[in-house]
């Protein structure tokens, strides 16, 4: 069975025509899927019985299974999805799939927004010391269809009803799976697809200068967020293994190029770890960085991960960190912590499930 969500409307239309199916079939089917959240071909009532049988014999809409569903008291919804790939899938073949090939996707509610936080890979190659996603390393890339399916899964849930924004801040490093990520963005943005505005889509990267410069040429005006997490090379290298490959200055130069080419300012993401990177001198160093770049700073309070030695900073320290940045003219916001009671931080639910041997 081929994954229908891997295809664009034009691609699927060509397949239908070449198979002597009606030229309008592709548009009918995609309307059922993306607009009406109907994923079973037999329920597509304006499609002929013969065409439904043809579709059922060749395609599936959903490839994932929902291994766990959780909803937090603040309305945050989290899905742990398990994937059963066909033989030709790019993910490595393994003997026991019971606790592997799982990814997480989260819906984060706000007053007028419903934001889908999606994964781009199974596991993560970066291995940030504080993050649950990279424990166990990278197990494979997701296809564009698997990325889109995460958003569709959330949109189908009766507790969600709609998705207005998408952030690539789940498991994985998006720019190390760039082809699938950019293809998925086009599908999410397309009028025949999810219809989500490009400016409502954010790609978060730990940063490799070459990848950022290349991504700056992407023709849709998405937002780029740099996971900085430390204001100097020594501290950043102690937290992020990939920081060995580039300095903070090299990253900032690439981000400047991003702004020059795309015209879009960058968001600097800064995860605050108690007693590690949340001191006054760190705030002052970060202020100097942000002042020299067309950017804003998003401060994130750490969600503890069992077994890792990092702690959540106090509210007083977070507010003081923000105050120092603002005093230096930096636009700095504190991200609201959502879903703490359901392990909503990146990779936590998958890590907890594996730890329990579930």
Task: List residues with catalytic annotation.
Answer: 104, 346
Tell me the backbone φ, ψ of residue 71, rounded to 5 degrees.
-130, 130
* Total residue length of the chain: 358
**Dihedral over Cα of 190, 191, 193, 194: its sign:** positive
DSSP string, 155-206: HHSTTT----EEEE-SSS-GGGSHHHHHHHHHHHHSTTTT---GGGEEEEE-
Tell me the backbone φ, ψ of residue 353, rounded to 5 degrees.
-65, -40
Question: CA of 129: how far to CAs of 62, 137, 193, 236, 246, in Å?
Answer: 33, 12, 37, 10, 17
Q: Which of 79, 53, 85, 56 is nearest to 67 (CA)?
A: 79
List all residues 6 or more positions away from 179 whose beta carbon is below 8 Å from its beta carbon: none
């Amino acid at each position: 069975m081929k994954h229908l969500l891997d295809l664009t409307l034009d691609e699927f239309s060509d397949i239908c025509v070449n198979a002597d199916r009606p030229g309008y079939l592709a548009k009918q089917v995609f309307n059922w899927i993306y607009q009406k959240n109907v994923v079973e071909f037999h329920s597509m009532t304006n499609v002929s019985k013969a065409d439904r049988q043809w579709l059922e014999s060749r395609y599936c809409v959903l490839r994932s299974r929902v291994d766990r569903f959780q909803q937090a008291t603040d309305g945050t919804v989290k899905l742990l999805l398990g994937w059963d790939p066909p033989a030709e899938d790019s993910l490595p073949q393994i003997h026991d799939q019971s606790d592997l090939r799982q990814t997480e996707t989260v819906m984060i509610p706000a007053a007028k927004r419903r934001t889908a936080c999606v994964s781009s890979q199974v596991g993560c190659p970066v291995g940030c010391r504080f993050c649950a996603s990279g424990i166990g390393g990278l197990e494979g890339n997701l296809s564009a269809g698997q990325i889109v399916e995460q958003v569709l899964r959330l949109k189908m849930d009766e507790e969600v009803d709609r998705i207005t924004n998408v952030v690539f801040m789940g498991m994985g490093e998006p720019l190390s799976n760039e082809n699938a990520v950019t293809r998925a963005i086009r599908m999410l943005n397309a009028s025949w697809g999810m219809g989500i505005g490009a400016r409502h889509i954010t790609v978060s990267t730990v940063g490799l200068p070459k990848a950022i410069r290349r991504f700056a040429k992407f023709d849709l005006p998405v937002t780029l967020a740099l996971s900085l997490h430390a204001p100097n090379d020594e501290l950043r290298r102690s937290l992020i293994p990939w920081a060995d490959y580039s300095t903070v200055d090299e990253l900032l130069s690439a981000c400047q190029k991003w702004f020059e080419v795309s015209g879009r300012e960058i968001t600097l993401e800064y995860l605050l770890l108690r007693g590690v990177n949340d001191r006054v001198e760190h705030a002052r160093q970060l202020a100097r960085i942000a002042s020299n770049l067309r950017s804003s700073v998003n401060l994130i309070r750490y969600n503890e991960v069992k077994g890792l030695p990092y702690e959540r900073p106090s509210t007083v320290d977070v507010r003081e960190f923000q105050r120092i940045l603002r005093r230096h003219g930096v636009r700095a916001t504190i991200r609201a912590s959502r879903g703490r009671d359901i392990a909503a931080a990146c990779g936590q639910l998958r890590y907890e499930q594996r730890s329990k041997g579930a």
